[in-house]
Structure 1
Amino acid sequence: MRKTVGLLTIIASFISNGMVFGQQKLDAYFEHLFKNRKFMGSVAVSYHDSIIYSKSVGYADVDAERKIDGNTKFRIASITKTFTAVLVLKAVEEQKLHLDDKLSLYYPEVKNAAKISIEQMLNHRSGIFNFTEKPGEDQWQQHPHTEQEFVDFFVNEPASFEPGTSYAYSNTNYALLGFILEKIYHKSYAELLDEKICQPLHLVNTYYSFEVDSAKDEALSYNIQDRYIRNSRVNFSNHPGSGGIASNAVDLNKFLFALFNGKLISPGSLAKMLPMDKGEYGLGIEKLSFNSPEGFGHSGRLENYISDYWYFPKENLGIVTLANATNIDTDDIGVVLVKYAYGSMPELPDFNNVPGLSHEVFDSIRGTYYLEQPKSTITISSDGRNLVFQDSRSGQDFVPFEYDGNNAFHFGDIKLQFFPAKREVELEQDGIKVTYKSGTR
């Protein structure tokens, strides 16, 4: 209790005394990230039902030079699952559904359907195959599909385990839950989201739709190389209930405050959602991996839309980070924003530094390298702690490499050997070596 009261006192004092200075320091931090091509997106911090900080940097549409602002929407990917879990629990409260109902009531063709409960789907203990891990899914998801086509896509894949015996994150659970909600209400997921969450909370920038629409001020997704490269286009008909919502940082903070303060579901339903142990997944919500302050969250990633929320119920403190291009760990941004709420100002990371290398050596190996066949690029930079490797192909995450000496680095069993004089880098994985060159496309 003393910790909670102490934090509330710090926050209240900071809001009244340090807000302007704090905002200036945070603004400089985010401008520094954008200038160094580390982050494009929006963030917001809420205290109770008020936004105490928000900031947007970068471009929603690079080619059109349309800048991100407070109204720009982002695809929030798997944060959609928290919304879906709320809709399912509202259906339980309305007695249209029970947590122990079996999947066989709706999809008897799914393996183990007669053993799988709605609750096991919500907490990823169903054993249902994750459709996003099926080979060819990257191309498949770029096209619209019906509910039956979605089911046909994964239904013959093996179950991961017997229901209730283990845990494995599976997007299929929530995609099916989205379809089940449509069946029991005889309405589309988009209509249910709007009727039961967005309208009551006045979330004017939150909705579900199949395709990204620049005309609605939605941010496009980019990979960071020597330029911003537009990612492939996902059709979100393949992600009902699992990853298709668009929103912004302010709306998400409003949603979180409402959820944790009894404005969407009952305290009993919220208690069912919340896991007890660090890192554990509850019903659409994960327990954060640190204990002080105690918090809950969810993250999402689709293409290079990377989204995170953290919420600290005792403090009524919300942190939201939404990106459409990044090659820095967004957890670092979350920590900076939490510290801001405590009155601590950020330092500007040194992106010209890799431990073990001089600035001169790092300057000689950083930059973008090209491969002719198959055509691709990789970009080498720093996150202030490690050398960062970013592949240009869609869906490829940035990777921090450790220094081994003599211009060699590794990440797991992947090795990089730089040849600064030739401006080349050799990548070795699974015994295969590929050489990328600088200066030619």
Structure 2
Amino acid sequence: MLLACVAPAIAADQRPPVDKVAEARRIGAYYQHRYGFNGEIVLAHGDAILSDETYGLAHIELPVALTPGMRFAIGSFTKQFTAAAILWLQDHGKLRVTDRIAGFLPKPLPATWANITIEQLLVHSSGIPDDVLMDDYPQFRIDPHSPEELIRAVQDKPLKFAPGSRYDYTNIEYVILGAIVEKAGGESWAEFIKGHFLNPLHLQDTGIGGTPQVIERHVSGYVTSHGALTKAVTADPSVLGAAGSMYSTGADLARWVAALQGGKVLHAATLKAMDTPRIETAGYGAFIETLSGAPVIGHGGDLPGFHTQVYFFPGSGDTVVVLSNISRSRPLESPGTYGVTNELLELEADPNGIRPSTGRVASVERASLDALGGTYAMEGSSTSLGITTDGDGLVLATPGQPPVHLKPETKDKFYAAEQNMEVEFGEGTMTLYNYTYEQRTVWARSKAAPGP
């Protein structure tokens, strides 16, 4: 148990209740001041907004402060709306997720697509390549493209693998799903989303397409590279369409999750199917994972200048939304965003747990620390990392780099606040999470530390 590692030892039922709203505000302020987090954080319980806090600027060059109710591009979180549209059509007898996609798309189609199903598109296991949306993307995204053009551009390319055999996240699969919504629903994807979800659910700050300059109360996106900040190049919304062309606010996204998970959008059995992992952690427009023993359902979104993370905890009924309008050029990572998101999720999963921003340290026996020491290597890398014990924590040694002091959160998990990273140990493995660059690397112990 996590609490068993905390000093001084206090029984769980003796701890004062954690004010999650106050703690979330503290976490947001910490990451703004320390790492430059710029964005919005919303905590909700059901359809009640508990906290809606903004940090930094909406338009940096003017400057204009961010305030609640401003509208962010949400990128791939659009996919959850598209998946819900497909499932709504199934609930109303217009299609089944087991149907082959060929019955909904213009002919001719390649023979390799003959047995691809709607479900395989939903969980990113179709094997259809995403080249059209990735190769020369900076130039390609400037011009408008219809879904039919995008589909034609990939249909003659070989599949990356046999449909259903493995997972590979792409945007083109959800562009195709948008075309299926139009065929089965009898109207454009955009009109379907508005008519069946946005209008009935009163999501008045959520919309589709349009450049930021013509969206009321819009937020500008910015990209950082080598310390320089530039305005992100705006993509034509048609390029991602049903895969990533929507905008919203933190509060509206929380209300959407409340409506969806509260049974106001889909039949109960359909919602359960949506929230069930089919291949790896992928459900239908959602990813289902476990954090500190608590199930969590979420999806994110990245565009140049924008980052979105939305997570729902079915055990508590709480939703966490994190939006940012600053991203790094490569990878698409917003300063402080992954760190703040990780801590908010840990706050929900284990309110009394130790998190990097708390500065607290768990009490771990010296023998347990010594047992983690040794040399760790990663497949395909010539670099080895060393772990040694130092006082009440560990030291991570990387060739040519200053040593990193790791403070224990539990006997298996450690953090380095200065480097915005966490390290988690498993059976003979060490997983490094670098939140500044959204990097997760797994290292295997190749040599144990010498005994005392």
State if a TM-score over 0.5 links the two structures. yes
The residue number in structure 1 matching 2:365 is none
Cα offsets for 1:339-371 (capped at 9, x unmatched): 545655976489xxx9879xxx99xxxxxxxxx
Is 38-47 or 127-136 further displaced after alignment?
127-136
Q: CA-to-partner distance for each residue in 1:17-74, whole Å, 9 max, x for gaps?
A: x47xx53x54354334334452211111111221112211122221221221111111
Q: CA deviation at 1:274?
A: 1.8
* Structure 1 stretches lacking a partner, 5+ long: 1-8, 363-381, 388-396, 403-409, 413-441
Cα deviation 1:292-318 (Å, max 9, x = unaligned) = 211111111111311111111121011
Return closer, same or farther for 1:75/1:52 CA change in 2, 3 Å cut-off.
Answer: same
- SS of equivalent residue, structure 1 residue 44: strand
Counterpart for residue 237 of structure 2 = 236
Which residue of the partner structure matches residue 258 of structure 1? 259
* CA distance in structure 1 between the partners assigned to 2:83 and 2:439 by the alignment: 37
Aligned to 1:189: 189
The answer as to whether partners of 2:203 and 2:252 remain within 8 angstroms in 1 is yes
SS of the counterpart of 1:399?
coil
Q: CA RMSD in A?
A: 3.4
5 Å-filtered alignment, 1:94-243, equals 94-105=92-103, 106-111=105-110, 112-131=112-131, 134-213=134-213, 215-225=215-225, 226-243=227-244
Of 75, 89, 95, 2:73 maps to: 75
Give structure 2 stretches of 5+ with no counterpart: 1-12, 328-333, 360-394, 404-415, 422-434, 444-452
Q: 1:334 is aligned with what amino acid? A: T
For residue 335 of structure 1, what is the aligned residue in structure 2? 342
Contact 2:147 2:175 in 1 (8 A): no
Alpha-carbon shift at residue 239 of structure 1 (Å): 1.1
Q: Give CA-to-partner distance per residue, 1:279-300, whole Å, 9 cap, x none.
A: 5101111112535211111111
1: CA distance, partners of 2:42 / 2:280: 23
The alignment status of 1:270 with 2:271, answered yes or no, reads yes
CA distance 1:174–1:252, change in 2 (3 Å): same
User: Counterpart of 1:438?
Assistant: none
Q: Per-residue CA shift, 1:54-113, capped at 9, x if unaligned?
A: 211122221221221111111111111111111100011111122122221214444422
> What secondary structure does 1:60 align onto?
strand
Asked if the contact 1:386–1:401 (Cα under 8 Å) also holds between the matched residues in 2, the reply is no
Q: How does 1:243-392 map to 2 (within 5 A)?
A: 243-276=244-277, 280-290=281-291, 292-326=293-327, 327-328=334-335, 330-341=337-348, 343-344=351-352, 348=357, 384-385=418-419
**Residue 262 of structure 1: how far off its partner (Å):** 0.8
Q: Cα distance 1:323–1:134, how it changes in 2: closer, same or farther (>3 A)?
A: closer
Q: Which residue of 2 aligns with 1:44?
A: 42
Contact 1:62 1:228 in 2 (8 A): no
> How many angstroms apart in 1 are the aligned matches of 2:43 and 2:306?
19
Q: How far apart are 1:251 and its partner, in Å? A: 0.9
Q: Aligned partners of 1:120, 1:235: CA distance in 2, in Å? A: 27
- The alignment's TM-score, normalised by the length of structure 1, stands at 0.72
Structure 2 residue matching 1:200: 3-state secondary structure: coil
The 1:267–1:283 alpha-carbon spacing in structure 2 relative to 1, beyond 3 Å, is same
CA apart distance, 1:233:
1.4
Work out the number of aligned pairs and report it: 357
CA contact (8 A) 2:356 2:417 kept: no
In the aligned structure 2, how far is the partner of 1:291 from the partner of 1:411? 19
Inter-partner Cα distance in structure 1 for 2:318 and 2:109:
40
- C-alpha distance 204-94 of structure 1, shift in aligned 2 (>3 A): same
Q: Which residue identity does 1:335 align to in structure 2?
A: N
Q: 1:158 to 1:212 in 2, by over 3 A?
A: farther
Counterpart contact for 1:400–1:411, Cα < 8 Å? no
Instruction: Tell me the TM-score normalized by structure 2.
Output: 0.70
- Structure 2 CA distance for partners of 1:355 and 1:39, relative to 1, 3 Å: farther
Distance 2:438 2:147 in 1: 39
